[in-house]
Structure 1
C-alpha cells in the first residue's frame, strides 16, 4: 500500500515539474538568444575594423598629419577640463547637502539633478543665443555701461574651449554628484565621530576621511561624464571645438572618406577603452571604501552665519546656470515663436517621428534587455557574464562610432539585398535597412541596451530564487515562470528602465544625424539644423519639448534618492 502511494506521489511530481533536461534545453534557447543579441552589439565594431583595414585612398596620410593630432589635442583638453570641473562641482555639492544643514538644502538635493534633463547641445544652443553680441545679456550690459554698439564693448566669445568646458561641466556634473552623494550617505557615522574625537575639524574630515573613501565613486562619475563628452557632437560643433567626434562626422559627410572616418573612430575607441580601464582600476579596492556595518547615516551639521549662505550659493549656482537660465530662455523664446507662428505641421510631424521611433526602439530594447538579464538568472555561469558585457558594450561607445559601424554593416546588407532582388526579381528595392529607419532603430538598440539590462537585473535580483524553485514544483517552465512570477514582481524596474531608454532615444543626436532616412527629422536633428543655420528662434519649441521630457527621469532619480537617503 505504501509503495502504491509513493508511486502515485512520484507520478504527480513528474507531472508537475518538467524534467531537468527539458528545462535545460529551454534555458539554452534563452542563452542562444542573448548570445545573438550580444553579437548584434558587437557587429558595428567588427564592421569598423574591417572598413578601416581597407585603407582610405591616400587620405589617411593627410588625416594623420593634419586632422588627427589637432582633434586628439582638442579632445584631450576638453575631456581634462570637463573631468576636473565635474569632479569639483559634483563632489563639493554632494558633501554640502549630505554633511551640512542650511537653508534650501532639501530642495537642492533634487534640484542639483535638473541639469541632467538638458542635453549638452541644447545648453550650448541656448547660451550661444543668450550671449550673442546682439543677444539679451550683452545688450543689457551695454545699456547699463552706456555703450551703443557691440563694436564699442563686447564680452569674450562663448565659442571657445573654455566656454565648451564650462557649459559641459555645468550639465554633466550630476554624473559625479549622484554616486558621490550615495557614497557619502552610506558611510558609517562612527567614522566621522571617531575623527571628531581625535580633534579633526569638519573640513579636515572631508579631506582626510570622506574624500578618500569616495574616490571610487568620483572615478565612476567622472568616467561617465567623460564618455558623454566624447559622445557629444552638437555642443562641440556649436562652440567651435574640433573634437574627434566632429572629425569622424566631417570626414565621412564632407570628404566622403568612410575608411578614414573608421580609422578615426577606432582611435576614439582606444580612448573609450582607456577610460573604462581607468574607472575599473580606480574601483579595484571599492570593497574597502564603505563600512559593511549597518551604521546610522552621517548626522548633518547645521551651518550658521555667513557660511550657510555661502553653502546655499555654491549649490545654487550650478542649478541656475546648468538648468534654470536655459529653461527660462527656451520657455520665453518658445512662447514668442508660438505666438508668432503657432505650432507648424512640420514640427508636429517631427515630434511624431521622435515619439514613434523612440517608442518602438524602447520596446525592442526592453525585450532584448529582458532576454539577456533573464538568461543570466537562469544560467549564472561565467559565460553569461561575458555575454552580459558584450551586450552592454554599446553604451560605452560614442554614438558617432556606433552609427558609423552600423552604417557600414547595414550598407553592406542593403547592397546584398539589392543585388539579390535585381538578379532574382529584376527590381531595385533601394536602401532597405537605412532607408526604412531600421538601421537607426538598431543603433538605439545597441546604444541603450545596457540601460535595459541593468534595470531588469535590478528588478530580478530583488526576487528570491526560492520563487523559481516553487514555480517549478508547481509545473511551471521557464517561460511560464517569467510571465507569472518575474514580470509582475519587476514591473517597476521595467517601467523605470523603459522611461530612461525612451528619454535617451529622444535626446540622441549623434547616431540620428548619421543614420536617419532621407527627409526624416526628429526634434534633436531639427534643433541641430536650425542652430547650424543660426536661426535659433526656429528651434526653441523643439528644444523645450526635449527638456520637458528629459525632466521625467530626473524626477524618478530624485524620488529614488530621497527615499534612500531621507533622514
Structure 2
C-alpha cells in the first residue's frame, strides 16, 4: 500500500519538474527563514536594542508615504486619460509610463545633487521614490478603467450622480482589487530599495542589512535582519491574497459598452493636462534633463573603452539571466498545465514568490547556500579550493533566477491561459508527444509572451542594485553598480553618463515590447 502511494505521488514526471524547480529557487528563502531560530550574536543584540526600532518605523513610514503618493499620482491620471479628451492626451498616455525606465536610486541621486539637504529627509525620499513607482498604479488603473462598461456610468447618471461621484462611488470600488495588486508591487519595490535610502541616510531594513554585513562584519546579523524583513513581506503577500479573494467583481455576460470620452474645453482641459503632466515632469523630464547636462560636461573626457566594458557586462549578465529565466518559466508553466497533482499549482506559486522578497534578502540567502556548496566541493577536491559558485557569474545569475522568476512566469502563464486544452487533446489524438506539442504548437502561439518575458526580465536585471552589489564577481562592474558608486561619491557627471545608458536601454526595451505587442 505504501509503495503504491509513493509511486502514485512520484510517477508524474511533470510534477517532479515542478518540485525540482521549487527546490531550486526556494532554498535561499527557506535558509533565511530557518536562521530566525539561531542563537543571537553580540552584533544582533546591539541592533535589536538600538537600531531595530528605527528600521521598523522608517520602513513602515516610507512604505505608507510612497503608497499614498503613488495612488495620488497614478489613479487620477489614469482616470483622466481613460475617460476624458484634453490637449495632448494620447501623448501623455505614453509619457506617463516613462519613469519606469529610471531606477529609483538614479532619481534620488539627481534630486540630491539639485536640492541638497532640502530633500535629504523622509519626505524627500517618499517623493523621489513615488515619482518613479507611480506607473505601477497608473498602468493597472488605466487598464481597469478602460474596460469599465459605459452602462455603469449611465446607471450612475440615472441615479443623479455626476462623473466624479460615479468614479468614487462605483468605478473606484470596482477597480479596488486590481489597484491593490499594483500597490502591492509598489510596496515590494519600496522594501527592496537601497540606493535612495542610502543617499538620504534613512535607516530601513535594507540599509540595515548592508550595515550589519559591511560595517559590523556580522553575516549572521544580516541574515537575521533579512529574516525579519521576510516576515513583513509574507504579511503583505498574505494581505494581498486575502484582498484578492475577498473582492471579486465580474463583468456581465454581454460585451461591455466602451466608455465615451468627454471632451474637456478651456481651463478644465488644461487642468487635466497639468494633473497628468506633473508626474512626467518630476519623474522623467527633470531627472533625464539633469543627467544630460551632467553628461555633456564630461562627454569628451569620458573613458569610452571602460564604458563599453560596463555596457558589455550589463547586457551580457542581463541577457544570460533573461534566457535562463524564460526557459525555466516555460518549463514550469507547461508542467503546471499538464500535471494533475494537487500540490503542483501550489508549489509553482511558492516558487515565484522571489519577486516579493527584497534583493538584499535573496542575495544573503543565495550567498550562504553557494558558500556551503563551495565548501562541500572543496572538501572533495582539496587541491582546487576557492570560489566555485559564490562570487561568480553563475552564482549571480542563479540569484537573479530566484528573484525574477515571477516576472518571467506571469506573461507565460497569461499566454497559456488563453490556449484551450482542446489543442493538447487534439495533439495527443494525432500521435504527438507532450514535448513535440510544446515545440510545434504551444511555443509558436506563445511567441509574443516569450518576447515579453525576456524583455521584462532583461530590464529588471539591468536595473537591479542590492543583489548585484552583494553577489557580483570580483572586479565585475555593471552600469547599475557604477552609477550607484559614482553618485555615492558625488561624481555626478560620470554617474550621469552611466545612468543615461541604463535609461536608454530600458526605454529601447519598452519600445520594442510595445511595438511587438502592436504587431
TM-score band by shorter chain is: over 0.9
Unaligned 5+ runs, structure 1:
1-23, 133-155
- 2:80 paired with 1:119: no
Written as runs of structure 1 = structure 2, the 5 A alignment for 1:382-393 is 382-393=342-353
Q: In the TM superposition, what is the alpha-carbon distance from 1:82 to its structure 2 partner?
A: 0.3
Aligned match of 1:478: 434
The CA distance in 2 between the partners of 1:272 and 1:54, in whole Å, is: 20
Written as runs of structure 1 = structure 2, the 5 A alignment for 1:164-183 is 164-183=125-144
Q: In the TM superposition, what is the alpha-carbon distance from 1:203 to its structure 2 partner?
A: 1.8
Aligned match of 2:65: 81
The CA distance in 2 between the partners of 1:553 and 1:100, in whole Å, is: 29
The CA distance in 2 between the partners of 1:264 and 1:415, in whole Å, is: 25
- 2:509 paired with 1:540: no
Q: 1:267 to 1:290 in 2, by over 3 A?
A: farther
Aligned match of 2:388: 432
Is residue 51–residue 258 contact of structure 1 (8 Å, CA) maintained in 2? no
Is residue 177–residue 248 contact of structure 2 (8 Å, CA) maintained in 1? no
Normalising by structure 2, we get a TM-score of: 0.94
The CA distance in 2 between the partners of 1:215 and 1:467, in whole Å, is: 35
Residues 335-358 of structure 1: per-residue CA shift (max 9 Å, x gap): 332222351x22221211111111
Bigger shift: residues 24-33 or 489-498:
24-33
Bigger shift: residues 429-438 or 226-235:
429-438
Aligned match of 2:312: 352
Across the two proteins, how many residue pairs are aligned to each other? 512
The CA distance in 2 between the partners of 1:442 and 1:527, in whole Å, is: 23
The CA distance in 2 between the partners of 1:170 and 1:108, in whole Å, is: 15
Aligned match of 1:15: none
Bigger shift: residues 265-274 or 331-340:
331-340
The CA distance in 1 between the partners of 2:221 and 2:392, in whole Å, is: 26
The CA distance in 2 between the partners of 1:164 and 1:39, in whole Å, is: 37
Unaligned 5+ runs, structure 2:
1-7
Is residue 43–residue 216 contact of structure 2 (8 Å, CA) maintained in 1? no
Residues 81-128 of structure 1: per-residue CA shift (max 9 Å, x gap): 001001111111111111211111111111111111111011112222
Normalising by structure 1, we get a TM-score of: 0.86
Is residue 10–residue 16 contact of structure 2 (8 Å, CA) maintained in 1? no
Aligned match of 1:419: 379
- 2:176 paired with 1:192: no
Residues 211-267 of structure 1: per-residue CA shift (max 9 Å, x gap): 211211221111110110000111111122111100011101211211111111111
Is residue 151–residue 256 contact of structure 2 (8 Å, CA) maintained in 1? yes
Q: 1:190 to 1:274 in 2, by over 3 A?
A: same
Written as runs of structure 1 = structure 2, the 5 A alignment for 1:276-291 is 276-288=237-249, 290-291=251-252
Q: Which has the larger radius of gyration?
A: 1
Residue from 208, 220, 230 that aligns with 1:269:
230
Residue from 323, 327, 345 that aligns with 1:363:
323
Q: In the TM superposition, what is the alpha-carbon distance from 1:381 to its structure 2 partner?
A: 4.6
Residues 267-306 of structure 1: per-residue CA shift (max 9 Å, x gap): 1112111211222222224432644531112111111221
Is residue 294–residue 492 contact of structure 2 (8 Å, CA) maintained in 1? no
Q: 1:52 to 1:195 in 2, by over 3 A?
A: closer
